[in-house]
Chains A and B, each alone.
Chain A
Amino acid sequence: MTPLPTPVSEDDLHAYVDGLLPPARVAEVETWLAAHSDKAAEIALWQRQNEALTALFPPVAAETVPDRLKPRQLARRPRGLTLNWPQLAAAALVLLALGAGAGWALRTFERPSESDSLIASAVTAHSLYVKENRHAVEVVAADRDHLVSWLSNRVARPITPPDLAAEGFDLVGGRLLPGDYDADDNGPAAQLMYQNAANDRVTVYITAALPADGNAYQFVTRANLDAFYWSNDRITCTVVGSLPETEMKAVAKKIYTQLTWRPDGTESTRS
């Protein structure tokens, strides 16, 4: 028997069964299987598993799509919670035109989005604690190991304070806050505080990811404070501060980069 050019791996066998191999490789795998009957039996079983799954869940392309699954209809439907940005902008104009009274009445129909309420909490917490001197944080940066393990445990996500030395900011410390989001399982929030030589302070407000929020980005200005918000499948993060715009952006970007890298080196945020 002639030896095979490339050894057949377990991955090749899966790809063979799933029809993901290039034709040339298919032939090689088949030759290999012919010589390995025990593996061939298992592969045949995998193929039968695939057939059974396909039979259990046949394609639905032939079925009529109900109206509620038609994107055009969904996009047209004026639901309070599903407004997109152009609609929101239009709604805002209408509210202005109607005046404050009518605006207030209509406002009760619109619940703030999950991320909006997180941003609001982050901003409130920022304004409350940046004024403090002795009680700005619960755990000071000198106690970093404790700070990291405590916050990571309570938020149930690994929280490593970003290093902002290059931007001139040192970690002051951190504290635990109640998560303000009204969903059941979002858990508490961690607030990290940084300070530069000019005593400007920046806070980073981190919670576990919102249910199914996926990746999102927002930049808002509230009460003279800038807030950068983003979320991925693991955390939400809001950076709050009142620095000049370019400085604020640099800090936010640095924090974003450091918090979105996973231990295995892959970036957790994808588009």
Chain B
Amino acid sequence: MDFLDEIETCVPALRRYARALTRNADRADDLVQDCLERAIRKRGLFRPTGPVQAWLFRILVNLWRNSLRSERRRGEHVAYDALVVEPSIPAPQPGRLALGEMNRALDRLPDDQRETLLLVVLEGVSYEEAATILGIPIGTVMSRLSRARTALRTLTGIGDEPRLRTVK
């Protein structure tokens, strides 16, 4: 398969992950476009030996981290758009987490935990691949996942819910 075709098959996965990272559809596509341009520009200079998808994800993550860094420096705030809370399941059934609540909780996760959790959950990559993409040891992937899940539990208030209800 041609290099460009190979890249093309990765676009939907990149867009999904970019949306989850940026929480804004336009910004997500900007990020993906940047990533693709960079990949295309570099193909002669730098030939990836591993799977192209992991390489693309790695470029995307690096671009995202850099844009977060420069934003923090400039103190910009980017508004979320409506894309995010468009529930694809009909209504919060008992036993499901409310999506809005999950969305807010996700927002408050530290960046490194968020990027790791979303990569594993949305893209279904193995822990080893996640380590390659994020440029961290596999042990760090595991500890970030663990911290992210614990933090989400606290932030969505699930663990505390029954206790809070008995207060009144």
Contact = CB atoms under 8 A, between A and B. Distances in A.
A20 to B, nearest CB: 6
Interface in B38-93: 38, 40-50, 55, 58-59, 62-63, 65-66, 69-70, 73, 84-85, 87-89
Contacts of A264: 137
A83 interface: yes
Place the interface of chain A in its size category: 35 or more
A10 interface: yes
A104 interface: no
B62 A233 contact: yes
A86 B135 CA distance: 30
B102 A53 contact: yes
A69 B137 contact: no
A57 B20 contact: yes
Contacts of B19: 57, 60
Interface in A104-132: none
Interface string A22-66: 000000000000000000001001101111111111111101011
A138 interface: no
Nearest to B55: A271
Interface in B115-134: 117-118, 120-122, 124, 126-127, 132
B84 A82 contact: no
Contact of A52 (B12, B50, B96, B145): B96
A50 B159 CA distance: 16
Interface stretch (A152-160, A207-215, A238-246): A207-215
Interface in B1-47: 4-5, 7-8, 11-12, 15-16, 19-20, 29, 32-34, 36-38, 40-47
A266 B43 CA distance: 25
Interface string A121-150: 000000000000000000000000000000
Contact of A11 (B33, B41, B84, B142): B142
Interface residues of B, number: 70
Contact of B40 (A20, A48, A55, A71): A71
A69 B32 contact: yes
A257 interface: no
Contacts of B142: 10-11, 14
B152 to A, nearest CB: 5
Contacts of B66: 211-212
Contacts of B87: 55-56
A14 B43 contact: no
B3 to A, nearest CB: 8
Contacts of A261: none
B97 A49 contact: yes
A55 B88 contact: yes
A212 B66 CA distance: 7
B40 A82 contact: yes
Contacts of A271: 47-50, 55
A53 B105 CA distance: 11
A218 B45 contact: yes
B62 A66 contact: no
Interface of A: 10-11, 14-15, 18-20, 42, 45-46, 48-61, 63, 65-66, 68-72, 74-75, 79, 81-86, 184-185, 211-212, 214-218, 233, 264, 266, 268, 270-271
Given A18-B124, A52-B102, A271-B55, 13 more contacts: A10-B142, A18-B121, A46-B149, A49-B149, A53-B20, A54-B121, A55-B89, A56-B103, A56-B106, A83-B41, A214-B58, A270-B50, A271-B48
Interface of B: 4-5, 7-8, 11-12, 15-16, 19-20, 29, 32-34, 36-38, 40-50, 55, 58-59, 62-63, 65-66, 69-70, 73, 84-85, 87-89, 95-97, 99, 102-103, 106, 117-118, 120-122, 124, 126-127, 132, 135, 137, 142, 145-146, 149, 152-153, 156, 158-159
Which 4 A-B pairs have CB atoms at the shortest separation, nearest pair first?
Answer: A85-B44, A271-B49, A52-B102, A211-B66
